[in-house]
Amino acid sequence: MYTGLQHIHSTLPYLIFMALAGALILSLLKRNNTGPFDSLTRRFSLFTLIFTHIQLLLGVVLYFVSPITKSAMADFGAAMGESAIRFYAVEHVLTMILAAVAITIGNSKAKKASTGM
């Protein structure tokens, strides 16, 4: 189960990147026009949001079942001294949560801007 979750967790960012790139490109193309965003742009934005939240949930599950984080939590002080363990125990988690928050806020602002609120 752990290996399967790892494979999904390492493959899903490619879908997130493609959906995010599509949403960004379509938004930039629509920005030149004064009309509202079309349904294709909204779909790309929604898929980006869905894939990001699924990725975040998979990451949280992996965080608690991972042998790397279990060993880091056993001796947190020593884990902070090793950069590879610190990356998985602290840095990766924090930056990915911030990225998910930024994508969620961006999606919310884009929806408000497209509806004129």
6-10, 12-16, 42-46, 86-90: which has the minimum mean pLDDT? 42-46
| HEC-encoded secondary structure of 62-88 | HHHHCHHHHHHHHCHHHHHHCHHHHHH
Task: Please count the CA atoms within 13 angstroms of the CA of 92 that sit on its side-chain side.
Answer: 16
Give residue 111's pLDDT: 77
Q: Quick check: helix, strand or coil at residue 117?
A: coil
Q: Tell me the CA distances in angstroms from 110 to 12, 19, 62, 73, one per residue in order.
A: 23, 15, 31, 39
Per-residue pLDDT averaged across 95-112, rounded? Answer: 90
pLDDT band at residue 90 using 50, 70 and 90 as cut-offs = very high
20-29, 64-73, 90-99: which has the minimum mean pLDDT? 20-29
**3: its two tokens:** 């290996």
Cα distance between residue 113 and residue 117, in whole Å: 6
Instruction: Report whether 41 contacts 27 (CB < 8 A).
Output: yes
Q: What is the mean pLDDT of the chain?
A: 88
